[in-house]
């Protein structure tokens, strides 16, 4: 700073002091004429000494006055700002001039004011302090002197000082957020047994919700041959038992939802026994096809899945079969188990799985399956090992109905299993609504491994479509971690940002502003959208107030570091020439 500018700053500071003294003297009268106002105590009072996390409460600073309280200098201190923090200070009584400052961590506040007209006697509230619960615990809240004073200073409305005998304190308790909800309890009713063709009513009316009510029901069939539901959205749907040749179990699941949107599920079994007129005679040598269902299965590495061997036409059921099923690359996926459908006697089942899980050979008899289309005769269990796709094939197959008559197998369709990495999801994205150009804020998000094995994946942070940072994250099954990134976009205005994995993305938006100049209430703005920010005090208009702000602060770093936006005469610098341009525009 040159000598001329330094002298200008000194003159302005001195002028401010003189004006302040003049205002004080106009209230208290000539020097030496104000007698002491007496002794008083300062207390902190509130309707409640507890608050929940993320909620706010207020404390009043109360003075026992005889002559009102026209001016004061004091502070507020919170012993532990991780439990509660100061978020706002309000001076009561209509102050004509006040200064309130709250520390960045909300641990303290400084208050000075004069020109207040309060009640002249009794308990007078002079300041209201707003505090927010930050974390569970307790903390002391105290009235203190301002940092530059040795004591709390109070003056009556004539300017006479009070003798402050004590400055009060209190304890604030912060409790956990009580906004919790108990989930409902689903009850799908008792298991039942019926004959094929019969109608049975399912019943979920026993479902309850301890702190609300059950508002909806949703039924689905999860096992067995299809038994259609009459109305899946009611508590008591009916099911017509399908025609079957042997005792079969149908399973149904109900999901109930309470009035807070939480859910619970329960299952019920319907056992269907054949009626006397269910029996059908198989066609001798009937043609059929063999398929894998699903033909294209997928599974996460480290997880398991199943694939069925299915006979397309089995009017006589399936009593016996022999076949082999193989996986062409057991390093990707392997066969770990096999289940023969139709409940054959175990003495009549031979199954042999290769040591590396590459194939299984099965032969069996005495099975009793359903009759009809698409009958599952074998269920394979497959384990995913590493990412990739492996082919599944069925070979050397012979199938017989329940009387021992062979089916004619016309076609055999192969399948495949694809092993994928466990999915990493992104949630709980958190970032600022605004950021000052040139400054940095933090964006955070939670990344969760929803798979069954430990994996490492890249987490990418982008701003306006451009990759800013990438972090490699290793997580075990079900584990979560919080990732953080620095957000410091260069361009002004709204800037979208995102935290992404290959599986999921969470997006947000931040508004980038210029820094506030001097003591202005808001950052500079560009009312006419021409790229030059003439509204230096951020009040939405361009007038002589902006000229004064620019003149007083044109050498500040907040101005000099943003010449691209604040250079009004286009000479590449911001100086008194730009002040003259703005003065000319606002007075012409």
- Asked whether 183 and 214 are in contact (CB, 8 A), the reply is no
Q: How far is residue 450's CA from residue 584's CA, in Å, rounded to a whole number?
A: 64
Task: For residue 178, name the pLDDT band (cuts at 50, 70, 90).
Answer: low
- Asked whether 341 and 369 are in contact (CB, 8 A), the reply is yes
Taking domain 192-273, whether its CATH number is 2.60.40.10 is answered by yes
Comparison of pLDDT for 500 and 565, the residue scoring more: 500
* Over residues 192-200, mean pLDDT: 91
* Over residues 372-401, mean pLDDT: 91
In this structure, CATH architecture of domain 287-420 = Sandwich (2.60)
pLDDT at 220 over 80: yes
Task: For residue 430, name the pLDDT band (cuts at 50, 70, 90).
Answer: very high
How would you classify residue 400: left for phi > 0, otherwise alpha for psi between -120 and 50, otherwise beta? beta
pLDDT at 25 over 60: no
pLDDT for the residue numbered 437 = 85
**Residue 216 DSSP SS3:** strand
pLDDT for the residue numbered 187 = 95
Of 96, 97, 99, 93, nearest to 111 by C-alpha is 99
| Tokens (6 digits) for 124 | 């007078």
Q: How far is residue 111's CA from residue 76's CA, in Å, rounded to a whole number?
A: 8
Task: For residue 2, name the pLDDT band (cuts at 50, 70, 90).
Answer: very low
pLDDT at 56 over 70: yes
Task: For residue 455, name the pLDDT band (cuts at 50, 70, 90).
Answer: confident
- Residue 196 CB-density burial (10 A; 0-12 exposed, 13-18 middle, 19+ buried): buried
- Asked whether 214 and 255 are in contact (CB, 8 A), the reply is no
Cis peptide before 310 (omega within 30 of 0): no
Residue 30 Cα to chain centre, angstroms: 61
The percentage of the chain sitting over the pLDDT mark of 70, rounded to a whole number, equals 91
pLDDT for the residue numbered 98 = 83
Return the domain boundaries, the chain: 38-175, 192-273, 287-420, 424-513, 515-588
pLDDT for the residue numbered 545 = 87
Task: For residue 179, name the pLDDT band (cuts at 50, 70, 90).
Answer: low
In whole angstroms, how large is the CA radius of gyration of the chain?
A: 39
Which parts of 16-107 are beta strand (E)? 38-45, 50-52, 56-66, 71-78, 84-91, 97-102
Contact partners, residue 14, CB within 8 Å, separation at least 6: none
Domain 38-175, what fold? Immunoglobulin-like (2.60.40)
- Asked whether 515 and 492 are in contact (CB, 8 A), the reply is no
Q: What is the largest CA-CA distance in the chain?
A: 124
Query: What is the DSSP-derived secondary structure letter of residue 555?
Result: T
Equal fold, 38-175 vs 424-513: yes
Helix (H), strand (E), coil (C) string for 331-348: CCEEEEEEEECCCCCHHH
pLDDT for the residue numbered 134 = 93
Q: Which helix (H) or strand (E) holds 133?
A: strand 121-133
Q: What pTM does this model have?
A: 0.38
Contact partners, residue 117, CB within 8 Å, separation at least 6: 68, 70, 93, 94, 157
pLDDT at 14 over 50: no
pLDDT for the residue numbered 18 = 28
Task: For residue 6, name the pLDDT band (cuts at 50, 70, 90).
Answer: very low
Taking the C-alpha atoms of 134, 139, 143 and 146 in order, what is their torsion angle to the nearest 10 degrees?
Answer: -60
- Asked whether 303 and 367 are in contact (CB, 8 A), the reply is no
Residues 321-366: pLDDT tens digits?
Answer: 999 999 999 999 899 999 999 999 999 999 999 999 999 999 999 9
Domain 424-513, what fold? Immunoglobulin-like (2.60.40)
Contact partners, residue 533, CB within 8 Å, separation at least 6: 514, 524, 525, 526, 565, 566
The percentage of the chain sitting over the pLDDT mark of 90, rounded to a whole number, equals 53
Task: For residue 28, name the pLDDT band (cuts at 50, 70, 90).
Answer: very low
Residues 222-257: pLDDT tens digits?
Answer: 999 998 889 999 999 999 999 888 999 999 999 999
Residues 119-169: pLDDT tens digits?
Answer: 888 899 989 999 999 999 999 999 999 999 999 999 888 888 999 999 889
pLDDT for the residue numbered 282 = 44
């Amino acid at each position: 700073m040159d000598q001329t500018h330094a002298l200008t700053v000194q003159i302005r500071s001195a002028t401010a002091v003189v004006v302040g003294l003049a205002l004080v003297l106009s209230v208290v009268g000539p020097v030496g004429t104000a007698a002491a106002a007496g002794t008083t105590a300062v207390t902190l009072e509130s309707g409640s000494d507890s608050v929940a996390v993320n909620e706010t409460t207020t404390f009043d600073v109360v003075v026992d006055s005889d002559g009102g309280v026209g001016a004061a200098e004091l502070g507020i201190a919170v012993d532990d700002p991780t439990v509660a923090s100061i978020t706002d200070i309000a001076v009561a009584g209509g102050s004509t001039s006040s200064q309130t400052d709250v520390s960045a961590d909300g641990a303290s506040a400084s208050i000075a004011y004069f020109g207040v007209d309060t009640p002249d006697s009794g308990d007078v509230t002079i300041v209201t302090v707003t505090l927010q619960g930050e974390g569970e615990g307790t903390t002391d809240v105290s009235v203190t002197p301002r940092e530059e004073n040795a004591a709390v200073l109070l003056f009556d409305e004539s300017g006479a000082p009070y003798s402050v005998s004590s400055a009060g304190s209190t304890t604030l308790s912060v409790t956990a957020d009580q906004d919790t909800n108990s989930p409902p309890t689903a009850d799908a009713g008792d298991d039942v047994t019926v004959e094929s063709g019969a109608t049975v009513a399912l019943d979920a009316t026993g479902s309850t919700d301890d702190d609300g009510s059950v508002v909806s029901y949703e039924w689905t069939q999860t096992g067995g041959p299809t038994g259609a539901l009459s109305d899946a959205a009611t508590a008591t749907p009916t099911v017509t038992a399908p025609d079957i040749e042997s005792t079969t179990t149908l399973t149904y699941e109900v999901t109930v939802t309470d009035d807070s949107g939480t859910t619970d599920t329960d299952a019920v079994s319907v056992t269907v026994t054949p009626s006397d007129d269910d029996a059908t005679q198989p066609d001798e040598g009937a043609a059929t096809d063999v398929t894998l269902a699903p033909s294209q299965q997928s599974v996460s590495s480290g997880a398991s899945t199943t694939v069925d061997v299915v006979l397309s036409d089995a009017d006589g059921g399936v009593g016996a079969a022999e076949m082999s099923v193989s996986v062409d690359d057991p390093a990707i996926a392997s066969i770990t188990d096999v289940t023969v459908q139709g409940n054959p006697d175990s003495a009549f089942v031979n199954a042999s799985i290769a040591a590396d899980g590459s194939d299984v050979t099965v032969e069996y008899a005495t099975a009793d399956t359903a009759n009809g289309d698409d009958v599952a005769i074998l269920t394979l269990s497959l384990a995913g090992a590493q990412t990739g796709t492996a082919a599944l094939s069925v070979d050397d197959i012979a199938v017989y109905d329940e009387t021992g008559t062979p089916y004619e197998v016309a076609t055999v369709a192969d399948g495949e299993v694809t092993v994928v990495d466990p999915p990493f999801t992104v949630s709980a994205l958190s970032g600022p609504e605004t950021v000052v150009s040139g400054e940095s804020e933090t964006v955070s998000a939670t990344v969760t491994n929803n798979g069954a094995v430990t994996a490492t994946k890249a987490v990418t942070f982008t701003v306006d479509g451009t990759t800013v940072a990438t972090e490699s994250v290793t997580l075990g099954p079900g584990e979560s971690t919080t990732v953080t990134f620095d957000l410091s976009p260069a361009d002004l205005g709204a800037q979208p940002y995102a935290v992404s994995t290959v599986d999921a993305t969470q997006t947000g938006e931040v508004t980038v502003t210029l820094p506030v100049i001097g003591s202005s209430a808001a950052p500079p703005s560009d009312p006419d959208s021409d790229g030059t920010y003439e509204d230096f005090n951020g009040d939405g208009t361009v007038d002589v107030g902006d000229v004064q702000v620019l003149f007083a602060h044109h050498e500040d770093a907040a101005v000099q570091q943003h010449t691209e936006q604040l250079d009004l005469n286009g000479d590449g610098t911001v100086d008194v020439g730009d002040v003259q341009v703005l003065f000319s525009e606002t007075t012409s």
